[in-house]
Amino acid sequence: MTSGVSRLDALSSDEAARELLAFCGSDEWARRMAAARPFGTPARLLEAADLSWSALSAAGRLQALSRHPRIGDPGASGQPAREQSAMRDADAETARDLALANRDYEERFGRIFIVAAAGRTAAEMLALCRERLHNDAATELEIAAEEQRRITRLRLEAFVRET
């Protein structure tokens, strides 16, 4: 059986970049990752992911953030839906309050609230959203970018465990 890393290494550059977009929505990040192959090992894949994120332009980071589904989006599917599974168990009041906090966040910062949701309850995500609404724009962009990096890494770690 071929590991996921070996399969990624064997793909053409364009095919690898398309596959890598499932982990991070930045075209630039996916191209950087495709160019960093062969990875050979899961550890090298994860190292390349962090290095590629660190080297990403501001536009590349914003693209990744813009392609991430909204917390609690009922239309989310696949990995994002699994990551946000706590929202399925949220009571109506928490879900409503998080939708309102999301709206406030989008109005303030011009993008969706992003958080590494895996393992967090809906109430924790609501509290984080409310807390981050008090950040200045530059600080919040740094936090959102770090959350996206963490999400990407968690997705890649799950990928290497499952393959």
Catalytic annotation, residues: 68
| DSSP secondary structure letters along the chain | ---HHHHHHHS-HHHHHHHHTTT---HHHHHHHHHH----SHHHHHHHHHHHHHT--HHHHHHHHHTSPPTT-TT--HHHHHHTGGGGG--HHHHHHHHHHHHHHHHHHSS------TT--HHHHHHHHHHHTTS-HHHHHHHHHHHHHHHHHHHHHHHHHH-
